[in-house]
Amino acid sequence: MIDELKTFIAVVEYKNFTKAAESINLSQPSVSLHIKHLEEYFNTILVQRSIKQKNIYITEAGCLLYERAKQMIKMLEDTRDEMLDYSKGIRGSLRIGASFTIGEYFLPAFLGEFNKVYPDIELEVTIENTHNICEKVKNFQVDLGLVEGTVPSSNFTIKDFYTDTMVVAVPYRYYLNNTDFSIRELSNRTWITREIGSGTREYLDLFLSTNNIKAKNFIVFGSNYSVKEAVKNNLGITFISSLVTENSVKNKEICILKTEQQYTRSFSYIFPKGGTPSKATLIFEDMLNKYVESVY
């Protein structure tokens, strides 16, 4: 039954028998047989096939089984990992999803410390924007997510672990540097930003609207490093995490404008609501909280 469920998950995600077969190293007839066994077992149609168009459609029952199958497979994998926890140390694997700011500027240092304590836990890290990481957590593609944007509480268990400072970053010789200025003077400027779906973009939009700042235009980049480099090279200004700008400020590549108000946001870790975190996940959570307390 486990193999049949894994096959069905692949069929749903690829929406194609041939591609699903290739992804799990089975022949197409074997994939068809697995689906047939599941339909016989549950006494319902899971996949409808269109012979002329060679398309497949997942029925409502199939969508329900897909969600349950992912939960069952995850539970089996977590149980396997916990069974490996014996004798001298914690073993197993941990799939971490992280948004860009966390994944690029916070997580590496922490994972270095985590690996020293738990060298037998295999780590797999996926770095994408907040929206995509939320989807991966929701679909059980990662064990937990570390994100910086707004997360729908109806779908996830959410816990904050770090307070991040957001700053207005400008080129090093920008004319407003070291001056008392009105926040309105930031209107009619070119703003460098991340794509929609990014936590950083969400907070930039909030910053602009709250302060009634009208942007002249936006230049969009797909990574924090690119945003920082664009500011450094006089393409515009940005509103971004101080973690991203720290080294560039020290190297006199960019400057931070002194605003009257301090702007902060929370970094959070999220789990699927109703899910049971694996032992490796709980260990990671505990050490993450202790790390933040000791370092920050």
What's residue 77's pLDDT? 81
**CA dist., res. 213 & res. 207, Å (int):** 8
The torsion angle over the Cα atoms of residues 102, 104, 110 and 113, rounded to 10 degrees, is 160
Residue ranges, comma separated, of all CATH 3.40.190.10 domains in the chain are 81-162+266-295, 163-264
Res 19 pLDDT > 80:
yes
Query: What is the share, in percent, of the chain residues with pLDDT greater than 70?
Result: 96
What's residue 136's pLDDT? 94
Tokens standing for residue 72: 């069952």
What's residue 84's pLDDT? 63
What's residue 87's pLDDT? 42
Please, what CATH class does the domain formed by 2-72 belong to? mainly alpha
Task: Report, as an integer, the average pLDDT of 236-250.
Answer: 96
Architecture in CATH for domain 81-162+266-295: 3-Layer(aba) Sandwich (3.40)
163-264, superfamily in CATH?
A: Periplasmic binding protein-like II (3.40.190.10)
Phi/psi for 212 (5° steps) reads 55, 45
Phi/psi for 141 (5° steps) reads -85, -20
**Residues making up the chain, counted from first to last:** 296
What are the helix (H) ranges across 254-295? 279-295
Q: What is the pLDDT of residues 88-140, one digit of tens each?
A: 567 788 999 999 999 999 999 999 999 999 998 999 999 999 999 999 999 88
